[in-house]
């Protein structure tokens, strides 16, 4: 890229290192809020939710603009019967969404995507991987995974 080349996001904002860092911080806040909600749903059902090993976040946009690697949380949910759901962020910059979190259980693989606009309140929609019929994420869908 030359000095006069400018990259804009879909809303026309210039992408700068500060912008990328702001997006990463927003993503990590949304993950924290989502994981707290899942933990509350799990507790209300009598399940346990444990933090897993963090997973590194160093996406192409971060590398391109010199934003340092960050750590993303992961989560494991267990029902009283033993089945588990593993929850791991997939990425912030994904086509058609404002971030994606993958969820795995004995019933399959699922993609939880935030369909809200950048820097807006998240709107999480759950899709079975390979299907397009997503539904707003709720406690019943979590229960149905085990």
Is the pLDDT at 72 greater than 80, yes or no? yes
Residue 79: its pLDDT value, please? 87
The whole model's pTM is what? 0.86
CA distance 27 to 89: 10
Q: Which residues pair with 84 in a beta bridge?
A: 78
141 burial (CB, 10 Å; 0-12 / 13-18 / 19+) is middle
Q: What is the reported pLDDT for 3?
A: 47
Q: Is the pLDDT of residue 106 over 80?
A: yes
User: CB neighbours of 81 closer than 8 A, spacing ≥ 6?
Assistant: 146
Q: How would residue 131 be classed by pLDDT, with cut points 50, 70 and 90? A: low
Spatial CB neighbours of 67, under 8 Å, sequence gap ≥ 6: 17, 20, 21, 24, 61
């Amino acid at each position: 890229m030359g000095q006069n080349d400018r990259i804009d996001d879909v809303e026309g904002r210039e992408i700068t290192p500060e912008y990328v860092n702001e997006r990463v911080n927003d993503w990590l806040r949304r993950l924290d809020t989502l994981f707290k909600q899942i933990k509350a749903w799990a507790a209300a059902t009598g399940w346990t939710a444990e933090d897993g090993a963090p997973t590194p976040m160093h996406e192409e946009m971060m590398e391109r603009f010199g934003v340092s690697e960050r750590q993303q949380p992961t989560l494991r949910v267990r029902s009283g019967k033993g089945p588990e759901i593993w929850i791991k962020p997939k990425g912030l910059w994904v086509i058609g969404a404002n971030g994606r979190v993958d969820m795995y259980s004995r019933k399959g693989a699922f993609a939880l995507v935030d369909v809200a606009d950048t820097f807006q309140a998240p709107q999480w929609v759950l899709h079975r991987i390979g299907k397009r019929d997503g539904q707003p994420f709720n406690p019943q869908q979590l229960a149905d995974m085990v």
